[in-house]
Amino acid sequence: MTTQTKPTPRERLLEAAATLAYREGVGVGVEALCKAAGVSKRSMYQLFESKDDLLAASLERRAASYAARLLPEADDPRSPRERILHVFEQLESQAGAPEFHGCAYLAVQIELKDQSHPASRVAHQVKGNLTAFFRGEAERGGASDPDLLARQLILVFDGASARAGIRADKLTGLIVPTVATLLDAADMH
């Protein structure tokens, strides 16, 4: 018989913030967050300085699972080209789910506008890490301009994620060939 530990108020708040902010936007109120977490406002403010800090902590907490869902394992033996395509195959797969609302980190940056907001800084770092992954793979794959290719790939990633998130387009059969064309143009093998 296994005993399951009940999530702490902090864990419940982090989960509620991540879930509600993704589904409803960063403007979700403190009342709604506390209600969803089953935690009093007083407890929330004892655990986090502000709603902004709670949101930032919730995004930071999910960053590793976000990367794990998208990126190939570090020891994945596939070519850099295949490793880049893997990211877009993952995005295509995730975008088909009814609960997909786009990239949570891009949404936070768009909604907040303020680059100095704690959640915006976390989102910027996570998106920077994805761009760095693309740049590293582009360098390893012999791309003619790895920096430019990384910028193009993040542009396609964010655009595809946003369009799929608002149900303006389906990514199936669209995103992987688009990325393959960019990789070909960059002499990426």
Tell whether pTM > 0.85: yes
* pLDDT of 42 above 80: yes
Instruction: Identify whether the C-beta of residue 112 lies closer than 8 Å to the C-beta of residue 27.
Output: no
Q: What mean pLDDT is reported for the chain?
A: 93
Instruction: Identify whether the C-beta of residue 177 lies closer than 8 Å to the C-beta of residue 184.
Output: no
Question: Domains in the chain, ordered, with CATH?
Answer: 9-185 (1.10.357.10)
Q: Which H helix or E strand runs over 104? A: helix 104-112
d(CA 109, CA 105): 6
Residue showing tokens 């976000």:
66
pLDDT in tens, 131-171: 999 999 999 999 999 999 999 999 999 999 999 998 888 88
Structure tokens at 153: 């790939």
Residue showing tokens 């977490």:
37
